[in-house]
Amino acid sequence: MSSGRFKRTTHLMPSSVSSRARKRGRGNEEPPAAPEPSIYKSGLEQKRLGKSVKDIATSVKTTFEDIKKLVTTHIERFGTLDKYMRGLKHQVNNNIHVASMVIQNTVDEFKATSAELQTFVQKSTEDVVLATKVHMNVDRNLHPHVLKWTYWFSITWMEWLKKFEV
């Protein structure tokens, strides 16, 4: 009457034994004989761990206070740097403004000088032509020579004025 399967035999263990103990094959074994030394050791270890936790808490508090001091110090330093940078910015802006005013004044002075020079050149041309006409009327023998010279002068002078954009 065997069906080809093996039957599993189970050992009956009391319910007080854990499943791990069943798997390991242990039965109702007694815990270690002397619990007092382990309690003593755990008490010392708890004191040591408690002291370590207190030391860590103190260290964290101290470090946190140091960080707060650093933040305060850095805020003060950044405030000082910000004031310094704003001062530099104002100085640079003032220097740029002064330089632009100097350049503008120089350009204005150059324009005024250029206008004066242009007026002077035109006046000089008119004076030369007028002087030539006066001398031509005084001496009729010079008339052909002066006419050539006047023509040459006025053409050359006008080309020079155009060349230098006066």
User: Are the CB atoms for 132 and 145 separated by under 8 Å?
Assistant: no
In the chain, where the domains are located: 37-163
Q: How far apart are CA 134 and CA 105, in angstroms?
A: 43
Check residue 8 and report its DSSP letter: P
Between the CA of residue 111 and those of 97, 105, 118, 159, 166, what are the distances in Å?
A: 21, 10, 10, 22, 11
First-residue to last-residue Cα distance in the chain: 136
Structure pTM?
Answer: 0.38
pLDDT in 10s for each residue of the chain, 166 residues: 445 554 555 445 455 545 555 555 555 555 555 555 555 567 788 888 889 999 999 999 999 999 999 888 888 888 888 899 999 999 999 999 999 999 999 999 998 888 888 888 888 888 887 877 766 666 666 666 667 777 787 788 778 777 777 5
User: Are the CB atoms for 149 and 132 separated by under 8 Å?
Assistant: yes
